[in-house]
Amino acid sequence: MAAKEFYAHPRQISDVTECEFYHTMDLPGIGTVNGSWDLRGRIHDYIGGIPVRGRRILDLGAANGFCSFDVEKLGAQVVSFDAESATLFENLPIPGALFTDDYQSWLCSAERRLDRLKNGYWLAHRLQHSSARAYYGDIYHVPDALGTFDIVLVGQVLVHLRDPIAALQQAAARSSDTLVITEAVADADQPVMRLCGTVANGVSYAWFHLSRAFYREMLLMFGFELVQITQAEYICSHSGYPEAMPLTTLVARRRSSAP
Ligand SMILES: C[S@@+](CC[C@H](N)C(=O)[O-])C[C@H]1O[C@@H](n2cnc3c(N)ncnc32)[C@H](O)[C@@H]1O
């Protein structure tokens, strides 16, 4: 039996109908494919304006890889990381949600969507002549064997996790220099995390928004200092029509010695 490859084997996808898109992207030879987030022309804001040329970047929770491909176009060497399986996805246990009431049906459609998301990544990868490598695993167990990266990107993935602190710790462990976190944040001065999904709002896919002070403290514990916070609005069509959604980008640098 052949040994499992460490990095994901590139998929030869040519049919766009086999794909699902989280990111809106302009694909050579195909045109615009529509996803719920349109970050086109916005990578500079999304990653806090940090220079990426010649840097090794790990893009955690890459989805269709829009950020991976855009930083690669700016001269970075990229590893895109995403979920091995939909069994890793953590939804809130909200009564009435398919995840809670009929887990097997939910899992079946979630696996299909994840597979189609990966197809979208590989279609975009091929059409844009990307050299990025992809690794499929679990953000709670990012393997040491991936090595360390100058920059680790954590874009809108913590909100989907039951334990964002553990994931942030994994991200920090893989970064030799810079962490970039782009998420919606809780508007509070204290170091708090605010629950997003409730029984009343029925939002089962969003766990927490952390406050800036919370990030600052956790990052210090992981050996990083929060050096920059910026905010920008991005077009999101999650609800079926385009809306401007504010996101915060936090840039943290590894401290040379313990505080
Ligand atoms: C909302 S998308 C973020 C896309 C991209 N980072 C961005 O900022 O536009 C979240 C991604 O995290 C991935 N993800 C969720 N749970 C994961 C886990 N436990 N391990 C690895 N990836 C996970 C999902 O598959 C999805 O592609």
**190-246 pLDDT tens trace:** 999 999 999 999 999 999 999 999 999 999 999 999 999 999 999 999 888 899 999
Q: State CA 11 to chain mean position distance.
A: 20
What is the spatial distance between Cα 29 and Cα 14, in angstroms, rounded to a whole number? 11
Query: Ligand 1 atom 8: the closest Cα is on which residue?
Result: 155
- Does an H or E element contain 172, and which? helix 164-173
Nearest to 207 by CA among 199, 197, 198: 197
Domain segments of the chain as ranges = 19-91+113-182+224-254
Annotation: CATH topology of 19-91+113-182+224-254: Rossmann fold (3.40.50)
Give every CB contact of residue 11 below 8 A, 6+ residues apart in sequence: 118, 119, 122
Closest ligand 1 atom to residue 60 Cα is 6
- By the 10 Å C-beta count (0-12 exposed, 13-18 middle, 19+ buried), 159 is classed as middle
- Model-wide pTM > 0.85: yes
Q: Mind listing the pLDDT tens digit for each residue in 97-119? A: 998 999 999 999 999 999 999 99
Query: Ligand 1 atom 3: the closest Cα is on which residue?
Result: 156
- Does an H or E element contain 103, and which? helix 103-127
Closest ligand 1 atom to residue 66 Cα is 9
Query: Ligand 1 atom 24: the closest Cα is on which residue?
Result: 61
